[in-house]
Every structure is written in C-alpha cells, then in structure tokens.
Amino acid sequence: IAGITQAPTSQILAAGRRMTLRCTQDMRHNAMYWYRQDLGLGLRLIHYSNTAGTTGKGEVPDGYSVSRANTDDFPLTLASAVPSQTSVYFCASSANRGYEQFFGPGTRLTVL
C-alpha cells in the first residue's frame, strides 16, 4: 500500500518556468491538500479539494493552481515560478475534510 506518492522528489527550476508537482493517493480519500513548509513558518495550506471536481483556496494560494479531475490525483501547478516559491511541498489527504490527514513524502523545489 503506497498511501500518498509525490513526484518529483526534488527539482531545481529556473524562474519563469512552469512546473507541475504530482500527487496521487490510493486510499480513496475524499479530501486532498497542498501545503508548503518553510523554516519558522510551519506548514501553510496552498489549496485544498473536499471531493473530486471541487477545489478551494488556502492561506497562500497566489501563484499556484490545482485541479481535481478524479479522486486519486491532485496536481499542483506553478504557472511561472518565482524564487519565493522555493520550499518543500507536501500533499496530504483525509477521508473527509478535517479528519486525520495523511501526508506524502514531499517535493523539495528550488527556484533560481
């Protein structure tokens, strides 16, 4: 049982480039989330999805977009990366909104 997988594990990206971080879960969870982790700031919610076909904005949504075409996948796209988006990105899922969240291993993104 994989749980949640994220790809890539790490990436170095030139500013201005487009990047999609992938997230897949096999637990058939309804809710999925994207967080970024920055030193001294903890985990901040970027976007979330309560169920397939719906998405919502979190604390820091600017510069990011998401889609939820099906239950399992929740990709995060940076349309035009900027250095301030350098961070570790975690995808998470929960059976339903607010229940215990299960996190993926993270993607370390560096924007130069």
Q: Which residues of this protein are in contact with another protein, per CB under 8 A?
A: 4, 35, 40-45, 48, 58-59, 90, 92, 96-106
We find the least distance from the C-beta atom of residue 111 to another protein, in angstroms, to be 20
We find the least distance from the C-beta atom of residue 60 to another protein, in angstroms, to be 12
Nearer to another protein, 22 or 97 (CB): 97
DSSP reduced 3-state for 49: strand
Residue carrying structure tokens 């900027």: 82
Number of Cα atoms under 13 Å in the Cβ half of residue 68:
21
Contact 2, 91 (CB under 8 A): no
User: DSSP state, 84?
Assistant: G
We find the least distance from the C-beta atom of residue 16 to another protein, in angstroms, to be 29
Nearer to another protein, 83 or 105 (CB): 105
State how far the Cα of 51 lies from the Cα of 11, in Å rounded to an integer.
28
Nearer to another protein, 14 or 39 (CB): 39
